[in-house]
Amino acid sequence: MIKVLLVDDQQILAEGIKSVLETSKEIAVVGIALDGLKALELTEKLHPDVILMDIRMPNMNGVVATKRIKEAHQNVKIIILTTFDDSDYILSAINNGASGYLLKDIGSSALIDAVKNAYAGDTILPAKIAKKITDAAAMVSSDKEYKLRKSFNLSEREVEIALMLYDGFTNRQIATALKLSDGTARNYISSIYLKIGADNREAAVEKIKALL
């Protein structure tokens, strides 16, 4: 039996979700919390396997509650279930340990399947939510590339390599990933140092970090 804790400040909605989930013989809703603080308390007391967590709630929101619960209970699976598809919420929730992110317009059978799949260890990200994450990541990457080009007058290839330096790639890894000879990779890196005004890798990475 999969023990589920519901966390939502709208009790009537939580009761409706409880009724839906309990049409499955494999799921038992063990409690309902109306805010993040109560969710922490009930997690300690009830030891749920899966938590369905709203985002916007009084006292403690769902992202903070997710972080706090996952710090203390790594094995608990938390699925965000909300009406908000803002990319900041999605990224914050996933980065703080959520196993999935669903919108409340989800169908009954899909919600039951999501709980079962999360319990089994799957990440639950519908196509619409996955696209939001991809688009947000692309925007961040694009912003970094623009800053590097504008600030240091780097070429497109130099920008690519500068970001790899920033991410901790070694010279050999850069050469392999970009299909360059070791010598060509070193030449690009030397050019980046010169344009950035750094004498070595550590100094270059610090300047890149300060910019981004």
pLDDT at 137 (0 to 100): 65
Residues 185 and 121 in one domain: no
Residues 14 and 95 in one domain: yes
Residues 120 and 147 in one domain: no
Residues 90 and 191 in one domain: no
Q: Which residues of 57-76 are buried (b: 16+ CB within 10 A; e: fewer)?
A: beebbbbbbbbbbbeebeeb
Residues 118 and 137 in one domain: no
Number of structural domains found in the chain: 2
Residues 86 and 23 in one domain: yes
pLDDT at 28 (0 to 100): 97
Which of 125, 158, 184 delimits the end of a domain?
Answer: 125
Give residue 90's domain range: 2-125
Residues 154 and 113 in one domain: no
Which of 109, 125, 141 delimits the end of a domain?
Answer: 125
pLDDT tens for each residue of the chain, 212 residues long? 999 999 999 999 999 999 999 999 999 999 999 999 999 999 999 999 999 999 999 999 999 999 999 999 999 999 999 998 887 888 888 889 999 999 999 999 999 999 999 999 999 988 888 887 777 766 767 888 889 988 999 998 999 999 999 989 999 999 988 999 999 999 999 999 999 999 999 999 999 999 98
Structure-block tokens of residue 188? 């690009």
Residues 152 and 89 in one domain: no
Kindly state the helix (H) or strand (E) to which residue 59 belongs, with its residue range: none
Which of 125, 155, 184 delimits the end of a domain?
Answer: 125
Give the whole-angstrom CA distance, residue 33 versus residue 52.
10
Whole-number Cα distances in Å, 117 to 9, 133, 147, 167 = 25, 20, 41, 32
In the chain the beta strands, taken as DSSP E runs, fall at: 2-7, 27-33, 50-53, 77-82, 100-103
Residues 28 and 107 in one domain: yes
Residues 39 and 115 in one domain: yes
Q: Is the Cβ–Cβ distance between 29 and 18 less than 8 Å?
A: yes
**pTM for the full predicted model:** 0.66
CATH number, domain with residue 61: 3.40.50.2300
Residues 107 and 167 in one domain: no
Residues 12 and 93 in one domain: yes
CATH number, domain with residue 192: 1.10.10.10
